Structure 1
Amino acid sequence: MNTAESKSLRKSRLYLLLIALVFAAPMIVAGLLTYGGWQPSAKGNGQPIVPQRNFVDEQLRVQLADGQAYAWRDSEPRMTLLALAGPDCAARCLDTLTAMAKARVMLSRNQSRLRLLYLGTPPANAADRTAMASYWQLGRDVDGKLARYRPATPDSVSAVLVESNGTALSFYPAGFDAAGLLRDLRKVIK
């Protein structure tokens, strides 16, 4: 082998090594970060419900305004966004409920995959009640099994996101960020 061929061979091997290094570098960096204790998180805006609850298994009964029982498991896989109103649902409460309904609309073509269920005393104003009924199913927690998620603060709303099989996924306490809720909904409803 002459020197020109030897130089060419070394140069080719160097290029091959550099190409391998380009592909291996992200894996090496990820390994070092994991070894160092850093892990990326896909943290949602809601609080995880621990221990996990399944409303079907618990036989959690919700009676709708028309007297029918709410079916946690629907004929098609759809999640439920459950709104729990504190005492005296008024202006702030209605603003939050409107933001939640807007989050559903923002799901665009997937909005049919989310049901909105309001548990509590509907607003006293007839116009507000009528406007609400166009987006929300109104009902009540028959046995009071959701009392720990209901806010005690007047004119406030908390929310629980429930999987289509009845499993409660996350809790959004009163004062939650509606934009954060929308981000979470976009992650789970596809």
Structure 2
Amino acid sequence: MKVTSLSIPDVLLIEPHVYEDSRGFFFESFREDIFKKETSLDVSFVQDNHSKSSQGVLRGLHYQLPPHAQGKLTRVIQGEVLDIAVDIRESSPTCGQYIAEILSSDNKKQLYIPEGFAHGFLTLSDTSEYLYKTTNFYHPKSERCILWNNATLNIQWPKDLNIQLSPKDLLGDSFEVSELFPCK
């Protein structure tokens, strides 16, 4: 696998070695020993999640409060998404900044997002199937959401899509008043 640190160095773009021939392809989407060796991270994933979404569906920007914060390893098995990770770590020099990466079933790229980030994704294709591993279990009472179109974050979402949100995500907090965001 090829591992690349992005503009927020703790967020990693992971490109697995894909073996293709006339029959199709094969790759190891996750192998703990190689992941730990190539990333220098000692993380354990405890839960796998799978979602299917239609074009324009935006899920996020979600996070969980400590001690239930989640790191994530994300990938797309069908379609294409814009994957977003927002640094919400108070002491981080990149607090309030975000990473945006296109993940697709064609490029097979993965994104490792550590604890301390809000996360969301937008389906760009007709439909998408999105898988992600988490380092902590889902804990509803610790879950929070930042409003997707917060002006301070200024995330550059595609303008040609009809964005669709869940009722919960429509009620997301503004970045400025959220519990963990004294990014100064």
What TM-score results when the alignment is normalised by the length of structure 1? 0.26
Q: Which has the larger radius of gyration?
A: 1
What TM-score results when the alignment is normalised by the length of structure 2? 0.26
Q: More helix per residue: 1 or 2?
A: 1
